[in-house]
C-alpha cells in the first residue's frame, strides 16, 4: 500500500492512492473499518466510535468518562440490538464500507444524554452508521431515528454527536474570532464562549501543534440541524473533568439559545436521518491552515450532497430531490429592491406541542428540530432565489432580508420528487405602521453592528458596560454612531464591586436600572398635532434576559414592552438567539416639534439580565379611520 501526498497550499493532505482498498473486519464486540490511513473501531453494543486512528496514531480518548466518539442517543437500552455491514467493500472493489448498529426500542426510552431521566429519554429505534471510502481522510457518521406508532408519546432532550480527543489537541478552531492555542481550561472562562452560528461555521474542531494533525467536524448542509440559518450553537470546548479533554460537538437539538423541539405522539410514525457528516482529519504545520483546509473540505462535501451511497428510508437521494426557485417581489414604498442578503427557506409551518404544566408551546422554524429545513441565500436585488436539494414534502416558505424589518411567510408549497419546482412571483409587503421618524441599527437578526459586538464572547463583556458607558447610552439620531455609541447588550448597570465572571452562569452581582436615551429632532408637523395620532415604537429583539423594557417619552411614562422568555443569549455570550418583534403605541401628542427624547429602561436586576436589540424604529401612524 502506498500513500499519495498532494500539496494543498501550506497543508499536505494525505490522500489514499488508487490501490488502497477499504476493508471491514468484524469481531464479537466491534467492527473495524480501514482504508490504510484511517482506521476506526465501532462498538456493536452502543454504536460508539471506540477508536479513530490516523496513520496508526490514536486521535480519541476514553479517559473522560465516555468512549471517544458517540451519539447522545445510542443503541443501548432497548429490547434488541442488530448489527450488520450495510455496504460491503468486497462487493464494490474496496471502494466503500459501511456498518450499522441498531437498537430496537420496543417502547423503551433510548438515550442518556444531557437532561435525560435515569430510565432514558426517547422511545425510538436508533440506528447508527459509520461509512469509510477509498481515499477518505476521515469517516462519516449518521443516525436514524424511527418512532413507531406503538411507541409512547415523548419529548426529546438534548441530542448531539460528541468526540473527545487526545490530550495533545491544543489549538481550538471555532471561527475566525475563536481560533487560538488552548492547551487547558482557562481561569474565568466557560465553554459557552465557543458557540457560533452553525450555518456560517460548517467546519470546526481542534489541531495538535505537537503532532501537526487536525480533527474537525464537517457538515455538508444544515438541513438536519435545528433552528435554520440563524441558530447559534455550542461547537467546541474542553470538558470539565480532570482530563480536560478537547471536545467537538455537533448539536442537532439543544436547549441553548431558545432550544429546539422534538415531540411525538403515541400512534405517530416519525423517521428522521441526522447527517451524514464527516469526522475529518488532516495534517500540516500550521493550525490555522488546517482549519482553512477543513473549511475548504466543507465546500467540497456540499458539492457531493446528498451522498449517493446513503440508502435508508427518510433520506432522499439526489434524483428524489428538487430545486425550488421563484422570485420575491418587494412591495415597500421606501425600499424598491433588496439591498442586502436575502435568506429564503422551506420549513414546517408553525405548530404547537405540549408544554410546561399542561400549557401549549408554539414551535416555529427557529425552534424546530423535528423536521428538515432547506435554506439558501440570494444576493439578487430583485429577489430571485433558488433552493437546491429539497426533499419531497409540503412546506411553508419563509424569507428574511438584511435591511428589511419582518419576515415573509407563504404556506402550502408542495414539492414533488425531482426536477425544478417554480413557485413563481410572490409579493412581500413588509409591515409599516406609519411614516418612519428614525431608526437605529440594521434589521439583520443580530446585534453585530453595535458597540461591543466584536467582543461578545469575552466572559466579562456585560460588566464592561458600566465602565464604557458610566453615564449610560445617550444616542443622538443622525449624529451618534451605533458601532460606538450603542452598547449591544442593554443590561443592568453594575454597582457591585465584587461582581465577577461565573462560568456557565455568566456574571455575578446586581445592577441598577439602565436607561438608554435616544435624542432626536422633529420638524413642526401637523401630523403630530392631529387628533388621535399615534406613534409606534417598534423593536426587533434577538436576545432576551429580562421581563420588560419601560418606555418614557420626553420624561412622561409611555408604557412597557413585554418581552419573551429568556433564552440565555447574554449569559451564554452570544449576539443573537430567538428573533421576534415587539411594539408599543403611544399618543403622538407626547412628541413635540424640536428636541425629543425616548428613553428605554431595563429594570434593575442580575447583571446578566437584559435585552439584545436587532433594530429599533419609531413610526408616526396616521390617525385611526383616516
pLDDT tens for 365-388 read 999 999 999 999 999 999 999 999
C-alpha cell at 510: 446586581
At 570, is the secondary structure helix, strand, or coil? coil
% of the chain at pLDDT higher than 90: 87
Number of domains into which the chain is organized? 3
309, part of any domain: no
Residue 402 has a pLDDT of: 97
Q: Which of 61-65, 99-103, 122-126, 217-221 has the lowest mean pLDDT?
A: 61-65
177, part of any domain: yes
Q: Tell me how far apart the alpha carbons of residues 307 and 193 are, in angstroms, rounded to a whole number.
A: 33
H/E run at residue 292: helix 287-304
Asked if pLDDT for residue 606 goes beyond 70, the answer is yes
Q: Are 221 and 357 in a shared domain?
A: no
**pLDDT tens-digit profile of 94-114?**
999 999 999 999 999 999 878
Average pLDDT over residues 36-52: 97
Q: Tell me how far apart the alpha carbons of residues 5 and 623 are, in angstroms, rounded to a whole number.
A: 73
Q: Tell me how far apart the alpha carbons of residues 122 and 263 are, in angstroms, rounded to a whole number.
A: 10
Q: Are 475 and 615 in a shared domain?
A: yes
Residue 66 has a pLDDT of: 83
State the pLDDT confidence band at 229, using cuts at 50, 70 and 90: very high
Q: Tell me how far apart the alpha carbons of residues 232 and 370 are, in angstroms, rounded to a whole number.
A: 18
Q: Are 63 and 185 in a shared domain?
A: yes
Asked if pLDDT for residue 222 goes beyond 60, the answer is yes
Average pLDDT over residues 588-603: 96
**pLDDT tens-digit profile of 194-203?**
999 999 999 9
Q: Tell me how far apart the alpha carbons of residues 570 and 589 are, in angstroms, rounded to a whole number.
A: 36
Asked if pLDDT for residue 212 goes beyond 80, the answer is yes
Average pLDDT over residues 556-568: 97
**pLDDT tens-digit profile of 433-458?**
999 999 999 999 999 999 999 999 99
- The pLDDT mean for the chain works out to 94
Q: Are 10 and 144 in a shared domain?
A: yes
Q: What is the pTM of this model?
A: 0.94
286, part of any domain: yes
Query: Which of 364, 396, 428 is where one domain is finished?
Result: 428
Residue 1 has a pLDDT of: 30
Q: Are 328 and 291 in a shared domain?
A: no
**pLDDT tens-digit profile of 459-512?**
999 999 999 999 999 999 999 999 999 999 999 999 999 999 998 889 999 999
Average pLDDT over residues 34-47: 97
Asked if pLDDT for residue 525 goes beyond 90, the answer is no
Query: Which of 428, 459, 486 is where one domain is finished?
Result: 428
User: 306 preceded by cis ω (within 30°)?
Assistant: yes
Strand duo 474-476 + 514-522: pairing = parallel
Q: Phi and psi (nearest 5°) for 110?
A: -115, 145
Q: Which domain holds residue 389?
A: 319-428
Strand duo 236-238 + 203-208: pairing = unpaired
Q: Are 510 and 493 in a shared domain?
A: yes
Question: Which residues are 550's β-sheet partners?
Answer: 560, 601
310, part of any domain: no
% of the chain at pLDDT higher than 70: 96
Q: Are 522 and 460 in a shared domain?
A: yes
**pLDDT tens-digit profile of 132-161?**
999 999 999 999 999 999 999 999 999 999
**pLDDT tens-digit profile of 258-285?**
999 999 999 999 999 999 999 999 999 9
Residue 188 has a pLDDT of: 65
State the pLDDT confidence band at 16, using cuts at 50, 70 and 90: very low
Q: Are 371 and 398 in a shared domain?
A: yes
Average pLDDT over residues 341-349: 98
312, part of any domain: no
Instruction: Give 118 or 404, the one with higher predicted confidence.
Output: 404
Nearest one of 347, 450, 455 to 400, comparing CA atoms:
347
Residue 624 has a pLDDT of: 59
Residue 527 has a pLDDT of: 77
State the pLDDT confidence band at 19, using cuts at 50, 70 and 90: low
Q: Are 117 and 140 in a shared domain?
A: yes
Query: Which of 252, 269, 304 is where one domain is finished?
Result: 304
Q: Are 231 and 144 in a shared domain?
A: yes
Contact 274, 145 (CB under 8 A): yes
Average pLDDT over residues 63-89: 94
Q: Are 601 and 487 in a shared domain?
A: yes
Nearest one of 4, 7, 310 to 135, comparing CA atoms:
4
Amino acid at each position: 500500500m502506498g500513500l499519495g501526498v498532494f500539496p494543498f497550499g501550506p497543508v499536505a493532505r494525505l490522500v489514499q492512492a488508487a490501490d488502497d482498498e477499504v476493508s471491514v473486519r468484524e469481531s464479537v464486540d466491534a467492527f473495524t473499518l480501514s482504508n490504510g490511513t484511517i482506521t476506526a473501531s465501532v462498538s456493536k453494543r452502543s454504536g460508539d466510535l471506540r477508536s479513530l486512528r490516523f496513520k496508526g496514531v490514536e486521535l480519541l480518548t476514553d479517559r473522560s468518562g465516555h468512549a471517544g466518539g458517540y451519539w447522545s442517543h445510542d443503541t443501548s437500552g432497548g429490547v434488541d440490538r442488530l448489527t450488520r455491514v450495510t455496504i460491503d467493500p468486497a462487493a464494490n472493489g474496496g471502494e466503500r464500507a459501511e456498518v450499522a448498529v441498531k437498537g430496537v426500542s420496543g417502547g423503551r426510552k433510548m438515550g442518556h444524554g444531557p437532561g435525560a431521566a435515569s430510565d432514558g429519554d426517547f422511545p425510538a429505534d436508533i440506528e447508527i452508521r459509520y461509512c469509510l471510502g477509498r481515499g477518505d481522510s476521515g469517516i462519516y457518521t449518521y443516525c436514524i431515528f424511527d418512532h413507531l406508532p406503538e411507541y409512547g408519546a415523548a419529548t426529546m432532550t438534548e441530542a448531539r454527536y460528541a468526540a473527545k480527543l487526545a490530550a495533545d489537541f491544543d489549538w481550538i478552531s471555532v471561527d475566525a474570532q475563536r481560533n487560538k492555542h488552548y492547551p487547558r481550561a482557562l481561569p474565568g472562562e466557560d465553554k459557552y464562549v465557543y458557540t457560533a452560528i452553525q450555518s456560517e461555521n460548517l467546519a470546526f474542531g481542534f489541531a495538535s501543534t505537537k503532532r501537526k494533525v487536525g480533527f474537525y467536524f464537517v457538515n455538508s448542509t444544515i438541513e438536519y440541524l435545528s433552528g435554520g440559518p440563524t441558530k447559534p450553537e455550542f461547537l467546541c470546548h474542553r470538558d470539565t473533568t480532570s482530563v480536560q479533554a478537547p471536545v467537538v460537538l455537533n448539536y442537532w437539538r439543544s436547549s441553548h439559545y431558545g432550544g429546539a423541539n422534538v415531540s411525538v405522539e403515541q400512534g405517530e410514525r416519525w423517521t428522521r436521518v441526522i447527517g451524514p457528516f464527516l469526522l475529518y482529519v488532516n495534517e500540516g504545520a500550521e493550525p490555522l491552515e488546517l482549519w482553512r483546509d477543513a473549511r475548504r473540505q466543507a465546500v467540497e462535501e456540499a458539492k457531493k450532497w446528498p451522498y449517493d451511497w446513503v440508502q435508508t428510508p427518510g433520506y432522499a437521494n439526489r434524483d428524489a430531490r428538487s430545486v425550488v426557485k421563484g422570485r420575491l417581489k418587494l412591495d415597500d414604498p421606501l425600499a424598491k429592491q433588496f439591498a442586502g442578503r436575502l435568506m429564503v427557506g422551506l420549513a414546517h409551518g408553525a405548530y404547537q406541542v405540549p408544554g410546561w404544566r399542561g400549557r401549549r408551546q408554539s414551535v416555529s422554524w427557529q425552534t424546530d428540530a423535528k423536521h428538515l429545513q432547506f435554506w439558501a441565500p440570494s444576493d439578487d436585488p430583485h429577489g430571485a432565489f433558488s433552493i437546491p436539494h429539497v426533499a419531497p414534502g409540503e412546506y411553508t416558505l419563509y424569507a428574511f432580508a438584511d435591511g428589511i424589518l419582518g419576515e415573509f411567510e407563504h404556506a402550502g408549497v408542495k414539492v414533488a420528487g425531482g426536477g425544478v419546482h417554480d413557485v413563481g412571483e410572490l409579493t412581500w409587503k413588509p409591515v409599516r405602521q406609519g411614516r418612519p421618524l428614525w431608526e437605529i441599527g440594521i434589521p439583520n437578526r443580530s446585534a453585530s453592528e453595535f458597540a461591543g459586538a466584536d467582543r461578545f464572547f469575552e466572559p466579562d463583556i456585560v460588566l464592561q458596560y458600566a465602565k464604557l458607558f458610566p453615564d449610560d447610552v445617550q444616542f443622538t439620531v443622525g449624529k451618534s454612531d451605533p458601532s460606538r455609541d450603542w452598547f449591544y447588550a442593554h443590561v443592568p448597570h453594575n454597582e457591585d464591586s465584587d461582581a465577577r465572571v461565573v462560568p456557565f452562569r455568566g456574571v455575578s452581582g446586581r445592577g441598577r436600572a439602565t436607561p438608554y436615551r435616544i435624542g432626536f429632532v422633529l420638524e413642526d408637523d401637523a401630523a403630530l398635532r392631529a387628533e388621535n395620532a399615534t406613534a409606534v415604537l417598534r423593536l426587533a429583539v434577538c436576545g432576551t434576559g429580562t421581563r420588560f423594557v419601560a418606555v418614557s417619552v420626553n420624561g412622561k411614562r409611555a408604557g412597557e414592552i413585554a418581552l419573551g422568555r429568556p433564552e440565555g443569549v447574554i449569559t451564554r455570550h452570544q449576539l443573537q438567539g430567538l428573533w421576534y418583534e415587539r411594539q408599543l403605541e403611544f399618543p403622538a401628542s407626547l412628541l413635540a416639534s424640536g428636541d425629543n427624547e425616548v428613553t428605554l429602561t431595563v429594570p434593575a436586576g442580575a447583571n446578566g439580565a437584559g435585552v439584545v436589540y436587532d433594530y429599533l424604529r419609531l413610526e408616526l401612524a396616521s390617525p385611526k379611520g383616516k
